[in-house]
Structure 1
Amino acid sequence: MALASHKQANEENELILSLPKEIGLSAAPYLHFFQDFWCPPYCIEGVNNFQKHFHAKDNDVLVASFPKSGTTWLKALTFAIVNHQSFPSFNHHPLLSSNPHELVSILEFMLSHDLHDQILSLSNMSEPRVLGTHLPFSSLAESITKSSWKIIYICRNPFDTFVSVWEFITKAKSVSSPKFTFEEAFEKYCNGIIGFGPWWSHMLGYWKESITRPNKVLFLKYEDLKEDTKFHVKRIAEFLDSPIIQGGESSTLIENIVNLCRFEKMKDLEVNKSGCIFTFFEKKTLFRKGEIGDWINYFSPSMIEKLSKIVEEKLGGSGLSFKIHS
Structure 2
Amino acid sequence: MSSSSSVPDYLRDDDLIQETRDLISSLPSEKGWLVSRMYQFQGRWHTEALLQGILNCQKDFEAQDSDIILVTNPKSGTTWLKALVFALINRQKFPVSSSSGNHPLLVTNPHLLVPFLEGVYYESPDFDFSELPSPRLMNTHISHLSLPESVKSSSCKIVYCCRNPKDMFVSLWHFGKKLAPEHTADYPLEKAVEAFCEGKFIGGPFWDHVLEYWYASRVNPNKVLFVTYEELKKQTGVEIKRIAEFLGCGSIEEEEVREIVKLCSFESLSSLEINREGKLPNGIETKAFFRKGEIGGWRDTLSESLAEKIDRTIEEKFRGSGLKLSC
**Normalising by structure 1, what TM-score?**
0.91
1:190 to 184, 197, 201: 197
Q: Cα offset for 1:295?
A: 1.3
1:181 matched residue in structure 2: 188
Query: Which digits, 9 at most, give the CA deviation of each residue in 1:42-91, with x for residues without a partner?
Result: 11121111111111111110000000011100010011111112212542
Query: In the alignment, is the contact (CA less than 8 A) between 1:81 and 1:244 conserved in 2?
Result: no
Q: In the aligned structure 2, how far is the partner of 1:262 from the partner of 1:89?
A: 13
Q: Distance in 2 between matches of 1:71 and 1:113?
A: 19
Q: Secondary structure at the match of 1:296?
A: helix
Q: State the Cα distance separating 1:175 from its structure 2 match.
A: 5.9
Aligned to 1:4: none
Verify: 1:321 aligned to 2:324, yes or no: yes
Q: Alignment partner for residue 21 of structure 1, among 14, 29, 51? A: 29
Distance (Å, rounded) in 2 between the aligned partners of 1:101 and 1:50: 18
How many angstroms does 1:177 deviate by?
3.0
Equivalent residue for 1:84? Answer: 91
Contact preservation (8 Å) 1:160, 1:295: yes
What is the CA–CA distance in structure 2 between the aligned matches of 1:87 and 1:213, rounded to whole Å? Answer: 31
State the SS of the aligned residue for 1:276.
coil
| Most deviating of 157-166 and 291-300 | 291-300
Note if contact 2:73-2:141 (Cα within 8 Å) is conserved in structure 1: yes
Q: Deviations over 1:135-177 (max 9, x none)?
A: 11111111111111000010111111111111111011x4653
What is the one-letter code of the residue matched to 2:255?
Answer: T
Matched length = 308
Give matches, 1:116-195, under 5 Å.
117-118=126-127, 120=128, 122-172=129-179, 174=180, 177-179=183-185, 180-195=187-202
Q: CA deviation at 1:298?
A: 2.1
Q: Which amino acid aligns with 2:94?
A: F
Q: 1:59 aligns with which of 63, 66, 69?
A: 66
Q: 1:273 aligns with which of 250, 272, 276?
A: 276
Among all aligned residue pairs of Structure 1 and Structure 2, give the percentage whose two residues are the same amino acid.
44
Structure 1 position 278, deviation (Å): 6.2
- Structure 2 distance, partners of 1:97, 1:40, is 31
**How far is 1:113 from its partner?**
3.7
Is structure 2 residue 296 aligned with structure 1 residue 293? Answer: yes
- Structure-2 separation of matches of 1:89 and 1:70: 21
Output the CA distance in 2 between the equivalents of 1:234 and 1:43.
33
Deviation track 1:192-216 (CA, whole Å, cap 9, x = no partner) reads 1111010110000100000001111
State the Cα distance separating 1:285 from its structure 2 match: 1.4
Q: Secondary structure at the match of 1:281?
A: coil
Match of 1:106 in 2: 116
TM-score calculated relative to the size of structure 2: 0.91
Cα deviation, residue 181, structure 1: 1.5
Distance 1:312 1:182, change over 3 A: same
Could you tell me how far 1:323 is from its partner in structure 2?
Answer: 2.5
Contact 2:70 2:158 in 1 (8 A): yes
Instruction: Indicate if the aligned counterparts of 2:176 and 2:184 stay in contact, CA closer than 8 A.
Output: no
Q: CA deviation at 1:281?
A: 3.1
- Alignment of 1:97 with 2:107, yes or no, is yes
- Residue number among 33, 39, 54 corresponding to 1:32 in the alignment: 39
CA distance in 1, matches of 2:33, 2:38: 8
Structure 1, unaligned runs of 5 or more: 1-7
Give the counterpart of 1:282 among 280, 285, 290. Answer: 285
Contact kept in structure 1, 2:73 and 2:209, CA below 8 Å: yes
The worse-fitting range, judged by mean Cα deviation, of 74-83 and 176-185 is: 176-185
Q: Does 1:237 align with 2:247?
A: no
Letter in 2 for 1:259: K
- Structure 2: give runs of 5+ residues left out of the alignment: 1-15
What whole-Å deviation, never above 9, does each CA across 1:265-292 have from its counterpart, x for those lacking one? 0000000012333635321111111111
Distance 1:18 1:24, change over 3 A: same
Counterpart CA distance in 1 for 2:85 and 2:51 is: 27
Deviation of 1:240 (Å)? 0.6
CA RMSD of aligned residues (A): 1.5
| Cα displacement (A) at 1:241 | 0.7
Return closer, same or farther for 1:278/1:244 CA change in 2, 3 Å cut-off: farther
